[in-house]
Amino acid sequence: MTVRLTPENAAHLLERLRESQPLVQCLTNAVVTNFTANVLLALGAAPAMVDVPTEAGPFAGIASGVLVNVGTPHAEQRNAMLEAAAAAHAAGTPWVLDPVAVGVLPVRTGLARELLHFRPTAIRGNPSEIIALAQLGTGGRGVDATDSPESAADAAALLARSTGASVAVSGVVDLITDGSHTIRVANGHALLTRVTGGGCALGAVTAAVLSLVDPDDPGAILAATAAATLVYTVAAELAAADAAGPGSFAVHFLDRLHSLDAATVADQARLA
């Protein structure tokens, strides 16, 4: 079955996420751990930051979805990430790779290359990271994006085809591709880039939504990856309308993720 993303099916996935409360294992960076867990809880998912070796692998076998974000990759966490990715791959657990600053910094670049062997279900990053990961460029200036998603479109498609992952590139208009079909999400707000975790927490939400679809259906995986971005960015827009700046935005964002309903997602969606 191939599912094309419509606002209605993104809205339906939000409802299913609330019903099924997926258990999302996060091996993520030290900066965004708390925010990421709060974003998952606000949406109705269950976060578990299980990121030490010997626990990470077995847990990935029972989790609904796994996030591996290489933002602060200490040695022990690197081993846990490889263990979790291997176990997720073996168990058929959907997992998301966020290649934070890959291409710029050597330790995480080598780690990301190893992680790709375990076939992420989705890869989510900023344009520089996606370009670097696709080895079409040398990356940007680090953790923040320096290119637009459109400038990474070819790299994203190449990366998707070479890994089998759906690839989501963040920016003003997010681009999500499986290498043959591309979905663009125009929703979002610049305040997401003024709080830590604005991109990173989206990786965790993507893992949550991927857990709801057939892992053997590429169309459903692409649609779920884009639906995660849509739900997340609609909540961000609504939050920004009530926010005085980054601090109150973060608070309103959690509230909007919590209260967001399917009808609002369908009504506010700007897809192309």
Ligand X SMILES: Nc1ncnc2c1ncn2[C@@H]1O[C@H](COP(=O)(O)OP(=O)(O)OP(=O)(O)O)[C@@H](O)[C@H]1O
Task: By CB under 5 A, tell whether 199 contacts Mg ion.
Answer: yes
Nearest approach, Cβ of 123 to ligand Cc1ncsc1CCO (angstroms)? 15
Q: Could you tell me the smallest distance in angstroms from the CB atom of residue 121 to ligand Cc1ncsc1CCO?
A: 20
State the minimum distance, in angstroms, from the CB of residue 192 to Mg ion. 11
Q: Is 49 annotated as a binding residue?
A: yes
Which window, 25-33, 57-65, 168-176, 247-255, contacts ligand Cc1ncsc1CCO (CB under 6 A)? Answer: 25-33
Characterise 78 by phi-psi region: left (phi > 0), alpha (psi -120 to 50), beta (else): alpha
Q: How far is the CB of 230 from ligand X (least distance, A)?
A: 9
Residue 196 binding ligand Cc1ncsc1CCO, by CB under 6 A: yes
233 Rama sector, left if φ>0, alpha if ψ -120 to 50, beta otherwise: alpha
Residue 192 is a binding residue for ligand X (CB under 6 A): yes
Q: Are 205 and 211 in contact (CB under 8 A)?
A: no
Give least dist CB 124 to ligand X, A. 7
124 labeled part of a ligand binding site? yes
- CA–CA separation, 103 vs 125, rounded Å? 12
The separation between CA 254 and the C-alpha centre of its own chain, rounded to angstroms, equals 17
If one asks whether residue 197 binds ligand X (CB under 6 A), the answer comes out as: yes
3-state secondary structure the chain: CCCCCCHHHHHHHHHHHHHHCCEEEEECCCCCHHHHHHHHHHHCCEEECCCCCCCHHHHHHHCCEEEEECCCCCHHHHHHHHHHHHHHHHHCCCEEEECCCECCEHHHHHHHHHHHCCCCCEEEECHHHHHHHCCCCCCCCCCCCCCCHHHHHHHHHHHHHHHCCEEEECCCCEEEECCCCEEEECCCCHHHHHCCCCCHHHHHHHHHHHCCCCCCCHHHHHHHHHHHHHHHHHHHHHHHHHCCCHHHHHHHHHHHHHHCCHHHHHHHCCEC
Q: Which stretch binds ligand Cc1ncsc1CCO (CB under 6 A): 29-37, 38-46, 57-65, 176-184?
A: 29-37
Residue closer to ligand Cc1ncsc1CCO (CB basis): 213 or 228: 228
* Closest distance to ligand X from the beta carbon of 186 (Å): 8
Is residue 191 within the footprint of ligand Cc1ncsc1CCO (CB under 6 A)?
A: no
CA distance 262 to 9: 9
Binding mask 128-167 for ligand X (x = CB under 6 A): ---------------xxx----------------------
Q: Which of residues 82-111 bind ligand X (CB under 6 A)?
A: 100
Q: Which residues are annotated as a binding site for substrate?
A: 49, 197
Q: Which residues are annotated as a binding site for ATP?
A: 124, 170
Q: What residues line the site for ligand Cc1ncsc1CCO (CB under 6 A)? A: 29, 31-32, 71-72, 100, 143, 196, 200
Q: What residues line the site for ligand X (CB under 6 A)? A: 100, 125-126, 143-145, 170-172, 174, 188-190, 192-193, 197-200, 202, 229, 233
Q: What residues line the site for Mg ion (CB under 5 A)? A: 100, 199
